């Protein structure tokens, strides 16, 4: 048993020794390369064609992706919000998909555009999930390296025939690159 633990310790030390230098190369402060991000904010305007307007909600954003240069970043993103609708109660929506961030300058500060598409997931106490397609357009401003504020508009249509969802979101986000 002791021998197995010693081997496990040696293998763990080797793995850590290989990961630490590669992590320092991955997160070197340049947009090019691996990108990890997250944000939190508000969803000041949301509307569902069947339920009407929602109250101000909370907006969340998580992403992972890669930049092929300092101006074009492709991220797999999970964006979501929880809003309250008078007839439906609280409604959570999540969108998963590919986003393209185009930075107009190679260095900070920089304005950037957001475009994307993917799958939307909705749920509340009446129905637990409805899937559909979504699209996103938005603008952001990276005011310092790794920190930005962005606003984006989501449009989604779950598979429940006459329901269409739209929201405006404003988030403060951090991106590690």
Specify the pLDDT at position 165. 74
CA atoms of 24 and 15, how far apart (whole Å): 15
Q: Where are the domains of the chain?
A: 1-27, 31-176
The residues facing 90 across adjacent strands are 84
DSSP string, 133-176: EEEEEEEEEEEETTEEEEEEEEEEEESSTT--EEEEEEEEEEEE
Specify the pLDDT at position 161. 62
pLDDT in single tens digits along all 177 residues of the chain: 566 666 766 776 776 666 555 555 556 677 888 888 888 888 877 666 666 666 778 888 889 899 988 899 999 998 877 776 666 667 777 778 899 999 999 888 999 999 999 887 766 666 656 677 888 899 999 998 889 999 988 887 766 666 677 788 889 998 888
Specify the pLDDT at position 88. 62
CA atoms of 61 and 94, how far apart (whole Å): 10
CATH of domain 31-176: 2.40.160.20
Specify the pLDDT at position 125. 64
Task: Using a cut of 0.85, tell me whether the model's pTM lies above it.
Answer: no
**Using an 8 Å Cβ cutoff, are 37 and 27 in contact?**
no
CA atoms of 107 and 117, how far apart (whole Å): 26
Specify the pLDDT at position 155. 82
- In terms of Cα–Cα distance, which of 109, 112, 89 is closest to 99? 112
**Owner of token pair 């909600």:** 57
Q: Most distant CA pair in the chain: distance in Å?
A: 65
Specify the pLDDT at position 149. 94
Specify the pLDDT at position 114. 95
Please tell me whether residue 14 adopts helix, strand or coil conformation.
helix
């Amino acid at each position: 048993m002791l021998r197995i633990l010693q081997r496990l310790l040696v293998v763990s030390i080797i793995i850590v020794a290989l990961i630490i230098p590669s992590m320092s190369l991955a997160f070197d402060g340049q947009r090019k390369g691996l990108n990890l991000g997250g944000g939190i904010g508000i969803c000041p305007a949301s509307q569902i064609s069947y339920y009407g307007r929602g109250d101000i909600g909370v907006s969340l954003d998580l992403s992972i992706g890669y930049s092929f240069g300092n101006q074009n970043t492709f991220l797999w993103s999970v964006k979501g919000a929880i809003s309250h609708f008078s007839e439906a109660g609280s409604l959570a929506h999540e969108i998963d998909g590919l986003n393209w961030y185009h930075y107009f300058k190679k260095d900070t500060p920089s304005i950037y555009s957001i475009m994307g598409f993917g799958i939307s997931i909705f749920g509340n106490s009446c129905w637990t999930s409805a899937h559909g397609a979504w699209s996103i357009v938005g603008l952001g401003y990276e005011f310092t390296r790794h920190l930005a504020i962005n606003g984006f508009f989501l449009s989604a249509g779950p598979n429940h025939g006459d329901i269409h969802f739209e929201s405006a979101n404003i988030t403060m986000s951090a991106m590690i690159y």
